[in-house]
Structure formats: structure tokens, C-alpha cells
Amino acid sequence: MIIGEPAPPPGGPTRDRGGPGQPLLSVKGLIKHFGQKKGFLTKAGPVVRAVDGVDFDVAKGETLGIVGESGCGKSTTARLVMQIIKPDAGEILFDGEAVGSRALELNAFRRQVQMVFQDSYASLNPRLTVEDTIAFGPRVHGATRRAAATRAHDLLHRVGLEPARFAGRYPHELSGGQRQRVNIARALALDPRLLILDEAVSALDKSVEAQVLNLLLDLKDEFGLTYMFISHDLNVVRFMSNRVMVMYLGKVAEFGPSEALFETPRHPYTGALLASMPSMDPDARTEVAPLAGDPPNPINPPPGCRFNPRCAKSAALCAHEEPTLLAAGEGDHRAACWLVDPSSGHPRLAA
């Protein structure tokens, strides 16, 4: 245990098993469709293909950034990993063990994976003081009242909130930045290994956002954490992440080391996303929007490559055959685009 005298979780501390080479989290073939399924008397309704075959892994100690626009499935992916919603199909391995199997029951898994949400107010119980909020998890998992309170005070101190001033406050007495610090402290209370940050800094003012990002980096070093960092802000994702996954309509469009992906994006969607960021140069303002229209609805994704109707490089091939993630450059840089497959016959490859 790292700070204070927290109660070890029942069943003993379940720390590193597979060694540093084994991914902390490994997700294969994850699928989640929402909507009405055909039943005995009910007709099948429209189906939202929120997450439609997603594979990725998160190495120990890294930050995996996930970016994409609304409806791309990034938050659904986070909720599936957390087991807040049940996947329709797919395998989730945590340090080599299947989540929900006898070797890693849901309870034990949830102690090791915690989540911080965007809405700092909605994720706190308005009737609990800050101290009770943070101590709640350890209490449920068997810590004594005193041990849990000590843990809460230690964590408050660690996230930059003076326990003497803040422990007795209620959520409405805190600013947005302070509330998000409480949410982070609460997430750390069970000494997790993986933290899923779903737009955790998006609602904060810019000057506070930088403070919380710094705090997250400090905590990661200190507690040896692994992050899944979900955000729509590409600058923040680039800054925080070792590797980045770009999602589009329930699929992975591109995956790779942060620098490589931002410097030489291989999927046209990643390129368009990067080009859509405001230029920050008054003499070189954006003149042409990289993409027209809104991200399409995941209810009826287009056949072939899901990006093809909006893609400037689309060819006939793209409209009926779906590309898979293929190696595209150094390391494990991969992109789901026919342009990275020299044998695909995409007309632009010949040029």
C-alpha cells in the first residue's frame, strides 16, 4: 500500500501477475448494439451499433488516449470495460484473467479499475460530505471507520485539498475543479491499477484544466497507475497519452504511438480531425473545413469503410469493402484504410 494505512482489500492485494510485458487490459472483438432485438412478439427495432468489433490493449503504466466525435463509441467502450453495461460479445482480459471468470470475479476487478466522469457534480452524492464520499468505497470493502477516514484525509491531501478545510464540505460547496479532485480521490480510494478518465477535464475552466492534468500526471507516477484517457480535445490527448486510439462510428480507425499518429496520421479521418482544430495563428486561419456535414448516425452505418461518404480520398472499393486495421508505419501504428494496404488496388496508390 502506498499511503497511510488503508485496509487491504478483502482477498488480499491482487497486484501485478503477468509481469510488465503482459498488457494490463486486453480487449478483443468488443461489440455492443443498443436497440430492440427481435423477440417472440416484438419486431426488431433500429439497432445502434455503438461499438462494433473493437480490439485494443493497454500496457502497464501507459496512458492510452481515445479520441473521436459524438457517437463514435468511446464512452460506450469505457463503460463496457468497466462492466457498467454488458457487452454483446467480446473478451476483456485484465492482467491475463478474463473479467467475470472465477479467477477474477467482478468485485475484485472493480476494485482495480475505477472511473472518473465528466460531470463532477452528478457523480457525487449531494448528501455525503467529501470525507464520507471518499471513505465509502473502503468501508464497503471492509475497512474500519477510522482506517477509511484516515485514507480519505490522506487522499484529499494528495489531490491538493487541505483535509482540515474540505473534509466536512458537501459537493455544492465546492468549485468544479475541487469537485473533480474529490472524484479523483474517490477513484483512488481502493488503490486501483487502471483509471478510466472519461472527459474528466472537459468541463473545467482552462486554467483549472491544466492544474488537474498536472495532478493526474503526478498521481500516475506516484501510484504507478495506468490510464485510459478519453477526450474530444486532441491537444490534451496528445499531451497525456503514450498511445492513441481514434474511433469512428463504433470502429477503430487508427491506433498508434501518440507522436507518430499526430505527426503522420495514416487514416484520412485522423487527418481531418487534426485539421479541424483551430489554427491559433491569426495569419493562417482555417479557410476550408476539412469535412462537410455531421458525423453520421451509428444506426445505419454506411457499408464498406464507415468513413467513405465523408472521405476526400474515397474510391469505389471503399464503398463496398471494409478495411481492417493494418500495420501503417513504425511500432504498432495501425490504420483501417485501404490506402495503407499496397495490395488493395485503391486507385490513389497507383498515382
Partner 1 sequence: MSDGLMVDVAGLTVDFKGPKGPIRAVDGVDLHLKRGETVALLGESGSGKSVTLRSLMRLHPSSARIGGKVEVDGRDVLKLSSRELAGLRGPIVSMIFQDPGLAFDPVYRIGDQIMEAVRRHEKLSKAEARARALALFERVRIPSPDKRLDNYPHEMSGGMRQRAMIALALACRPKVLLADEPTTALDATVQIQVLLLLRELQRELGLAVVFVTHDIGVAVEVADRIAVMYAGRIVEMGPARDVIREPRHPYTQGLLLSRASHAPTPGARLAAIPGAPPDLADLPPGCSFRPRCGHAIDDCAELQPEAVSVGAAHFARCIRTRTTAEAYEAVGA
- Nearest distance in Å: CB 263, partner 1: 12
Q: Does 205 bind partner 1 (CB under 8 A)?
A: yes
271 binds partner 1 (CB under 8 A): no
258 near 238, Cβ under 8 Å? yes
Residue from 70, 107, 125, 144 binding partner 1 (CB under 8 A): 70
In the three-class reduction of DSSP (H, G, I as helix; E, B as strand; rest coil), residue 160 is classed as: coil
Q: Tell me which stretch binds partner 1 (CB under 8 A): 82-90, 226-234, 320-328, 337-345.
A: 226-234
Q: Would you give the binding string for partner 1 spanning residues 279-318, x where CB under 8 A is met?
A: xxxxx-xxxxxxxxxxx-x---------------------
Instruction: Give SS3 for 50.
Output: strand
User: Is residue 38 a contact residue for partner 1 (CB under 8 A)?
Assistant: no
- Nearest distance from residue 292's CB to partner 1, in Å? 7
Rounded to whole angstroms, the Cα distance separating 195 from 229 reads 8
* 245 is a site residue for partner 1 (CB under 8 A): no
Query: Measured between alpha carbons, how far is residue 143 from residues 74, 110, 148 in Å?
Result: 34, 16, 6
CB nearer to partner 1: give 136 or 239: 239
**Where does residue 223 rank: exposed (0-12), middle (13-18), buried (19+ CB within 10 A)?**
middle
**Residue 335 binds partner 1 (CB under 8 A):** no
Residue from the set 234, 244, 246, 305 that interacts with partner 1 by CB under 8 A: 234
* CB-nearer residue toward partner 1: 16 or 294: 294
Shortest distance in whole angstroms from residue 276 CB to partner 1: 4
Q: How far apart are CA 334 and CA 347, in angstroms?
A: 21
For residue 140, the minimal CB distance to partner 1 (Å) is 32
Q: Is 122 in the site for partner 1 (CB under 8 A)?
A: no
Residue 235 touches partner 1, criterion: CB under 8 A: yes
Our finding on whether 18 is near partner 1 (CB under 8 A) is: no
Reduced to 3 states (helix: H, G, I; strand: E, B; else coil), residue 219 is helix
State how far the Cα of 47 lies from the Cα of 298, in Å rounded to an integer: 8
Residue 278 as a binder of partner 1 (CB under 8 A): the answer is yes
Q: Does 239 bind partner 1 (CB under 8 A)?
A: yes
Q: How far apart are CA 238 and CA 58, in angstroms?
A: 16
Whole-angstrom Cα distance, residue 215 to residue 188? 13
Contacts of 328 (CB under 8 A, 6+ apart): 254, 256, 266, 334, 335, 337, 340
Residue 5 contacts partner 1 per CB under 8 A: no
Return the residues of window 137-196 that contact partner 1 according to CB under 8 A: 175-178
Q: Contact, 7 vs 144, CB < 8 A?
A: yes
Of 39 and 282, which CB lies nearer to partner 1 in the complex structure?
282
Q: For residue 133, which amino acid is it?
A: T
Which one of 98, 213, 327, 349 is in contact with partner 1 (CB under 8 A)?
213
Strand order in the sheet with 25-35: 47-58, 25-35, 89-94, 97-98
CA pair distance 230, 78, nearest whole angstrom: 8
**Contact footprint for partner 1 (CB under 8 A):** 69-70, 175-178, 205-208, 210-211, 213-214, 217-218, 232-236, 238-242, 258-259, 272-273, 276-283, 285-295, 297
